[in-house]
Amino acid sequence: MRTFRYRWEWRLRSSPDALWPLVTDTNRFNRDVGVPHVERVGGSLASGRSTDSKGPGWRRLRLVRFGVPIEWEEEPFEWTRPSRFGVMRRYVSGPVATMRVLVDLTPSNSGGSTLIYQVWAEPRNALGLLAIPIQVGVLSARQFERTIRHYDQLVQTPRATIATTTQPRFATGGHERLAAMAAGLIADGADASLVSKLTTSIEHDDDFALSGFRPYALADQWDVSRRRLLELCLHATRAGMLEFRW
């Protein structure tokens, strides 16, 4: 069957470096464009081999859309920070046979960037011939436009005033416990300005930002010492503010 190709181009105010953490966070992007929850399937691929036997980075994933289960094998992502990323998906169920995504970020002379988002989709059957132009060519195109523009706006907004796409909810008494932990860290000698940044992030960033909390990346973003922020995060785990996972 024919392969559908779609290409969208946006001229944005933000640099590729600034946009990269948002546009490459596939879990966040999927949520923001309305993709249903994706779950990982156990390590057997359609070929009968395990994901490990095909090399590191291979995954088998599944979602349900409109009551139809869709499952695919995902090749390792292509990453060239901060200019390009892409992935190839080979579907084992559903109306689509294969889908390739490629995103290019190019700096512009004005300090912004040009983002080009391309999709190649090959249908598996007649349903795919009908579904791909509607879902990808119309519905996804609108969501991509809205989401990419929103990310550009977020990057241009000072961090303290950024409104995340989903506001976090605290349990009853959660704010008070967080404030008490912060006060305890400062009393133990932690840098008050760093503690303030950390607690503000916990209060206002959404689950996707916090579930992959990386001290070095955050230190670079905040323009503070990596070692100082790492030490603070380790102390925060002892205080119960953060949970350490290796």
22-49 pLDDT, tens per residue? 899 888 899 889 998 889 887 544 444 5
Please report the pLDDT score of residue 48 as a whole number.
47
pLDDT at 159 over 70: no
The single residue listed with the structure tokens 């967080």 is 178
Q: pLDDT for 98-157, tens place per residue? A: 999 999 999 998 889 999 999 999 999 999 999 999 999 999 999 999 999 999 998 887
Q: Which residue has the higher pLDDT, 241 or 217?
A: 241
What percent of the chain has pLDDT above 70?
A: 89
DSSP letter at 52 equals: G
pLDDT at 1 over 80: no
Q: What values do phi and psi take at 73, rounded to 5?
A: -100, 130
pLDDT at 163 over 50: no
Vertex 194: Cα angle to 192 and 197 (nearest 5): 110
Mean pLDDT value across the chain: 87
Separation of alpha carbons 238 and 127, rounded Å:
54
pLDDT at 63 over 60: yes
Instruction: Taking residues 65-72, report their average pLDDT.
Output: 86
Instruction: Taking residues 67-89, report their average pLDDT.
Output: 92
Domains (ranges, CATH) in the chain?
Answer: 4-156 (3.30.530.20), 174-239 (no CATH)
pLDDT at 3 over 90: yes
pLDDT at 16 over 80: yes
Is 0.75 surpassed by the pTM of this model?
no
DSSP percent split of the chain into helix, strand, coil, nearest 5: 45, 25, 30
Lowest-confidence range among 1-5, 53-57, 161-165, 224-228? 161-165
Q: Which residue has the higher pLDDT, 185 or 162?
A: 185
Can you list the positions of beta strands (E) in the chain?
4-12, 39-40, 59-65, 68-74, 78-80, 84-91, 96-107, 113-123
What percent of the chain has pLDDT above 90?
A: 59
